[in-house]
Structure 1
Amino acid sequence: MKFFSSFVKELKIASRGFYFYIEIFMAVLILAIFIFAVPENFNTKSAEYLYLDMPEEVRISYLEAINDETLDGNAEAVTVEIDDNEKNATLYTTEDKEIYILESQKDTIYMAEEEQKVAAVIGLDDENQPSYTYYLQGYESDKYKNLLKILNIESTDNLQSDVLNQEVKSLSTNTERLSDRENMLPSVLVFNGALMGLFIIAAYIFLDRQEGVIKAYALTPSPVWHYLMSKIGVILLTTLVSSFLILIPLMQFKPDYLLLLALLVTSAFFASSLGLLIASFYNNIMQAFGALYLVMMLMIIPSIAYFIPSWNPSWITIIPSYQMLEGFKSIILGNNDWTYILTMSAGFLAAGSVLFVLSNYRYKKTLIG
């Protein structure tokens, strides 16, 4: 009962300061960005700018071959801004490319040199075979350059036949994929819960020291852990409110919210306990800024690997935010993997408890420092 009274008191005190509303404001801002600015899926089609330097009959045949690969079988007359002028072009949209046919070689070179676009001039050699001139940016790898050299040597029909004849075995079936927007949500939950909680709880401690709240608390009979756990309770409440505020409008009832609740509470408890421990070694937020910044940057590294799957060194798996990302992604996918999530949650609870005990020990000695 004393702990509950302490929590209510801390909640009232926190609600009078701006730190309490930072997470809520960030959640509303993130939700608005996701709804109004982030598309369901990003356009991953590459754009190519080509000039056909060949006789008209050959040019028509070449364009017909491109048109056969388009999604709707139609070309679109468009304009392209070149050197501050609007130039006419023809757009062919295939499954993975947007091919712009320009009207001059000069315009093609401009798009390569000034706009850093993929550009090429296609002509005919002495044997009336297609000849390809690619304009590169200078940073392409030798592997990419060699690929361009051999790309158009082999007949595309032969290449397609080879691809279709390759045996492909699926490692799993009935798998669900997240949209590009949904795929961003795990990193948002990690940022909104763990990283914000780590920083804000440290800010609460330093604010209390500055205003003399901690010195006054040291004179009361309440145990130190009541004070610390009340601070964590405020962080957990704002984390839950802000996370559900983001997730429910975007995902409706797809995730398992009980699993989400377990992982949110334990991961936020772990991060808050870590923030308490870091704050115990410093007297103000300016002194602690370097340590907090270093820890937050370390926690962000798995998010980089999350969005760049080709860069995924094994050592990042030991960073706690990596496990948070995997856990939140599993929940958002709706895998119902209770064993995995609950095991991970138990791990964060255990680690957070150890950090909390260490923080409690530190604050008993330095509460009035």
Structure 2
Amino acid sequence: MKLWYSFSKEIILSSKSWYFYIEIGMAVVLLMILLFVVPEDFDNRSKEYMYLELPKALEEKYRDSLLDEDLDETVKLVEVKANGSLFMAELYETEESEIYLLDSIDALNAFSNTERVPAVHVRVNEKNQIVHTYYLQGYETQKLKNILMVYNNRFASNKIIEEYSDNIQVRSLFQELEPLSDRQSMLPVFLTFNGSLMSLFVIAAYIFLDKNEGIIKAYAITASTVWQYLLSKIGVIILTSILTSLVITIPIMGLQPNYPAMLLFLVTSGFFAASLGLYLTSFYKDIIEAFGVMYILIVIMIMPNISYFTPGWDPDWVKIIPSYIMLQSFKEIITVNGNMAYVMVASLAFAVLGLNIFILANDRFNKTLTL
């Protein structure tokens, strides 16, 4: 009963605090960004710049090959800018890329040197073979270089490669999964930030505010226990994170996510993040002293976002950062037929870690009540 009374009191006090309205306002802002700023699907087509230095017959054949791949089989004459100069180009639009056929080698060099974009010089060598010279930027992987070595053989009418590629069977390993739109794919990032990571920083703000007002020291002369006070704070934070997460998720995803799994994960991950915030605040008197540690923690927690948006960069050490697991769990939760086993294991891990950190935080607060 004491815990419920403490929790109820904290809800009333938090509803009068401007931190509560900051969280609600932040959730609304994130929702507006997803609805009105982030498009349903990004234009993922890459831009390629080419210059043809071929005999007339081969050049026409090459243009015909590009035209066959064009979406509307129509060439567009456009102006492109590089290094402060305008150049004329023919634009071919395919499903994967926008190919700009430049009118001079100078234009190609300008794009390669100043714009740092993929550039290709197509010419004929001494053996009358078509050669593609790629202007690389130095960060390309060996796999990409190997692909480029055979990629343009389709323009040379290499029937062996063409027949081989046409006969390759492609089988999806996850046939029951429906891909997320680009807007929906952004949602796990927002949920990780708003639903879990905010718990760490908001509870720190609440605790430092109570420290400044002497509320925590008052527990040294009351019958109430510190753990009830701390747990009631965590309860308020988790309740707020659930509300704000639903505010963001429901308008974007509708009924698609597994909401029971989401609620469970929000409780466990929020408990972990809030307990970590409590433990950190036990070492400092105010938020100014704790700023350095908080800043380092923010940087570490942001790193998995790079891996999330760049699947090619996924080192093992990133996978042990809690926010990485949060991102992957929220992605599974909002995906149709997502991997709920992963979510359950992650929830259990966060619950166990959160409980251990909460015990440490409670011990620290009990020892420092009169300091």
Give the Cα separation in 2 of the matches to 1:337 and 1:101: 45
Matched AA of 2:222: T
- How far apart are residue 235 of structure 1 and its match? 0.9
Give the Cα separation in 2 of the matches to 1:268 and 1:314: 24
- How far apart are residue 206 of structure 1 and its match? 1.2
Change (3 A) 1:95 1:336: closer
Q: Output aligned runs, 1:266-281, within 5 Å.
A: 266-281=268-283
Percent identity at matched positions?
47
Q: After alignment, is 37-46 or 251-260 more displaced?
A: 37-46
- How far apart are residue 264 of structure 1 and its match? 0.6
Helix, strand or coil at the partner of 2:354: helix
Q: Extract unaligned runs of 5+ from structure 1.
A: none
Matched AA of 1:53: E
Q: Is the 8 A contact 2:83 2:115 kept in 1?
A: no
Deviation track 1:124-147 (CA, whole Å, cap 9, x = no partner) reads 345544343433335556665566
Q: 2:2 maps to which residue?
A: 2
Q: 2:20 maps to which residue?
A: 20
Helix, strand or coil at the partner of 2:237: helix
Give the Cα separation in 1 of the matches to 2:122 and 2:242: 58
Deviation track 1:67-99 (CA, whole Å, cap 9, x = no partner) reads 111222222232212443443322111121211
- 2:173 maps to 1:166: no
Q: TM-score, with normalisation over the residues of structure 1?
A: 0.88
- How far apart are residue 273 of structure 1 and its match? 1.0
Q: 2:76 maps to which residue?
A: 76
Helix, strand or coil at the partner of 1:225: helix
Q: 1:59 maps to which residue?
A: 59
Q: 2:113 maps to which residue?
A: 113
Give the Cα separation in 1 of the matches to 2:139 and 2:258: 46
Q: 1:334 maps to which residue?
A: 336
Q: 2:325 maps to which residue?
A: 323
Give the Cα separation in 2 of the matches to 1:206 and 1:366: 14
Match of 1:252 among 233, 254, 268: 254
Give the Cα separation in 2 of the matches to 1:114 and 1:329: 38
- How far apart are residue 20 of structure 1 and its match? 2.2
Q: Give the root-mean-square deviation of aligned CA atoms.
A: 2.7
Change (3 A) 1:133 1:320: closer
Q: 1:38 maps to which residue?
A: 38
- How far apart are residue 342 of structure 1 and its match? 3.8
- How far apart are residue 16 of structure 1 and its match? 3.6
Aligned residues: 369
Q: Is the 8 A contact 1:266 1:345 kept in 2?
A: yes
Matched AA of 2:160: N
Q: After alignment, is 352-361 or 247-256 more displaced?
A: 352-361
- 2:293 maps to 1:291: yes
Q: After alignment, is 128-137 or 175-184 more displaced?
A: 128-137
Helix, strand or coil at the partner of 2:223: coil
Q: After alignment, is 247-256 or 67-76 more displaced?
A: 67-76
Q: Extract unaligned runs of 5+ from structure 2.
A: none
Q: Is the 8 A contact 1:270 1:348 kept in 2?
A: yes
Q: TM-score, with normalisation over the residues of structure 2?
A: 0.88
- How far apart are residue 224 of structure 1 and its match? 1.4
Q: Is the 8 A contact 2:272 2:355 kept in 1?
A: yes
